[in-house]
Amino acid sequence: MTNSTLSSNRTGWYALGCLLLVGSLLALSLAVAKLADDAGAPRLGFLMVAVTGAGVLLLALAAVQRQPMKLDRRIIEYALVSGALFALPNALGFLAVRHVGAGFVSLSFAFPILVTWMLAVGLGMERMNPLRLSGVLLGLSGGVLLAWAKAGGMSGAQGWVVLVLAIPLIIALGNIYRTLRWPGEAGPVYLAALMLLGGALALAPFVLAFEARQFTQLLGSADVLRLLFAEVAVFTVLYVFYFVLQKIAGPVYLSQIGMVAALVGTLIAVLLLGESVPPFLGLAGVLVALGAGLFHRGASHHTSPPTLALAKP
């Protein structure tokens, strides 16, 4: 076995480990949001403060690591656009969690992979690969099965269901944008910090418009403060590895986190939050696991066009 093969295998396993960690933390962040909502926290304000705290911590981490911290027009654009594309699906998820449950919101994250993959193939960032296609379709079928079973038991929340189903498209656009416009001279932790701070800036007008009078509730309850610190910690670790994963594996591989989040989020919602067990959970879990395995195997036999080379002004 050559050194390049060993290096490729190590990178593949590192990417898979990052994928499982990031997907699980994404599901956990939604569960914390549900608990904060139950504790009376203003939903958008909670998200904005948590994102700001995580962004500041990541900025400090980037400085400690001596990552390049250039700030020019291109990087400001990256921070604002990637921040908005990050904030919008998260805000929709935080707002909808009261109406449709943490489990259903987690399930919506199973779908971006197909949209991202189709966009990437259409833009020439990915080549058609039978194993990857099979993995995408298997994982997606598991997510669709869970979403269909969950949505069937809802009444009076169809509008929120539609909004939640818009989340995958926005996430896919964000995945593609971050790769196409990745500033090559900036480190991943620094870019993660800028995205989070850009997201907080995008959320601020909505917090002021809809939750200005509720903002003090974030500081008025010990339970909410504990959950806020927990969410900051989750976001900090989540988005360090999120950007590392995007850099080493590309936008389509990254979008598999949704399949992991869908399964882990459903388990958290059932086991910890007391939500009902969706029908076909076991079958959907097997489909998601098989899909992720096939996609990972396809990635190890697949050479994509250099996506980061597209990130030039």
> What are the tens digits of pLDDT across the range 112-141?
777 787 788 788 877 778 887 887 788 778
User: Which of the two residues, 26 and 98, has the higher pLDDT score?
Assistant: 26
Residues listed for the chain: 313
Q: What is the pLDDT of residue 150?
A: 63
Q: How far is CA 131 from CA 14, 61, 149, 204, in A?
A: 20, 38, 27, 43
According to the per-residue pLDDT averaged within each range, which of 69-83, 85-99, 178-192 is highest? 69-83
pLDDT of 100 higher than 80: no
Q: Is the pLDDT of residue 168 over 50?
A: yes
Asked whether residue 227 carries a pLDDT value surpassing 80, the answer given is: yes
Assess contact for 165 and 155: CB atoms under 8 A: no
Mean pLDDT of 239-246: 89
Q: According to the model, what pLDDT value does residue 230 have?
A: 96
Q: For residue 248, how far is the Cα from the chain centroid?
A: 16
Distance CA 75, CA 88 (A): 20
